[in-house]
Amino acid sequence: MTGPRPGKRVTDIDPSRLALLNAGAIEAATLTECLAVDFAALMRATLPEPWEVAIPAMEGAAQEGISRRMVLAAQLIAERPGPGIVEMLQGHPSDTLRGWACFMIGQARDISMADRLAAIRPLADDPHFGVREWSWMAVRPHIAEDPDTAIALLSHWAGEPSERLRRFASEAIRPRGVWCAHLRLLRQQPEKALPVLEPLRADPAVYVQDSVGNWLNDASKDQPDWVRALCARWSVQSPTAATARICKRALRTIDSKG
């Protein structure tokens, strides 16, 4: 997610803008605004009965980290399922509500990996930076349970016209990742991810290049020789500026060690 500007504090947000965020009327423009949203107030303003009984629990979690509150909000809403609730959240103007939809999809029981990824796809392609981050984080535990199936499915996303979906394919299976559990299989055997990575080695979008470079930098911390060899091969087979940028980013930890 895009971080706040240095020195920016929640208290610096204009009160009228914060009121609109808590009413679900606008999207957050920065991570600072995402963090400033009062989830209980947002629930009260946007969710009808019977979900209002979840508000005290949300108030009690106000000091928890945002990731935990996102998961809790989805759990509280799912405890009182109603017709079309995920669709309502998914189509809401508030990026936070769309994030709750991500975690409801992530928490859904008894659905296949293919169906889960199909459900999260519109949110993975969301215009808002925060929703796109929540989308992969919400399904990450299932990817961790069955990375082989996830890679097979996401290899098709690597060829999508949307750079957001291509980036999701890489970001969702990063070996170490950010704000999430590591994928032990890919830390030990990063080559298993090549069906996703190979199609992205010269991706024209910086958004995707950064993700692939970060993916390989993750892998370099466990399998440096493999990353060196892959970057050497890519540099010969794909002598483009995009590939060079990816490889520079991929090798930054290795290079920092001399």
Q: Range with the lowest mean pLDDT among 2-11, 26-35, 198-207?
A: 2-11
- pLDDT for residue 129: 97
Confidence of residue 5 (pLDDT cuts 50, 70, 90): very low
- pLDDT for residue 9: 47
> Percentage of residues in the chain with pLDDT exceeding 90?
84
- Taking the C-alpha atoms of residue 237 and residue 53, their distance in angstroms, rounded to an integer, is 59
Q: Do 51 and 43 touch, CB atoms closer than 8 A?
A: yes
Confidence of residue 25 (pLDDT cuts 50, 70, 90): very high
For residue 165, pLDDT beyond 60:
yes
Confidence of residue 178 (pLDDT cuts 50, 70, 90): confident
Topology of domain 146-258 in CATH is 1.25.40
ω before 199 within 30° of 0 (cis)?
Answer: no
- Taking the C-alpha atoms of residue 73 and residue 55, their distance in angstroms, rounded to an integer, is 9
CATH 1.25.40.290 spans which residues of the chain?
Answer: 146-258
Confidence of residue 52 (pLDDT cuts 50, 70, 90): confident
Q: Do 173 and 132 touch, CB atoms closer than 8 A?
A: no
DSSP run (H or E) holding 245: helix 241-250
Sequence-ordered list of residues with C-beta below 8 angstroms from that of 237, at least 6 positions apart, any chain: none
Sequence-ordered list of residues with C-beta below 8 angstroms from that of 31, at least 6 positions apart, any chain: 1, 2, 3, 4, 130
Confidence of residue 105 (pLDDT cuts 50, 70, 90): very high
Pick left, alpha or beta for residue 217 (phi over 0 → left; psi -120 to 50 → alpha; otherwise beta). alpha
Q: DSSP secondary structure string, 161-183?
A: S-HHHHHHHHHTT-SS-SSS---
Higher-confidence residue of 185 and 179: namely 185
Taking only the tens place, the pLDDT of each residue in 116-147 is 999 999 999 999 999 999 999 999 999 999 99
Taking only the tens place, the pLDDT of each residue in 63-88 is 999 999 999 999 999 887 777 889 99
- pLDDT for residue 153: 98
- Report CA 64 to chain centroid distance, whole Å: 19
- Taking the C-alpha atoms of residue 156 and residue 45, their distance in angstroms, rounded to an integer, is 39
Q: Which two tokens stand for residue 13?
A: 């947000």
- pLDDT for residue 3: 36
Task: Report the half-sphere exposure of 130 (CA within 13 A, side-chain side).
Answer: 24
Highest mean pLDDT among 1-10, 76-85, 154-163: 154-163
- pLDDT for residue 10: 54
Taking only the tens place, the pLDDT of each residue in 223-256 is 999 999 999 999 999 999 999 999 999 999 999 8
Sequence-ordered list of residues with C-beta below 8 angstroms from that of 214, at least 6 positions apart, any chain: 174, 249
**Mean pLDDT of all residues in the chain?**
92
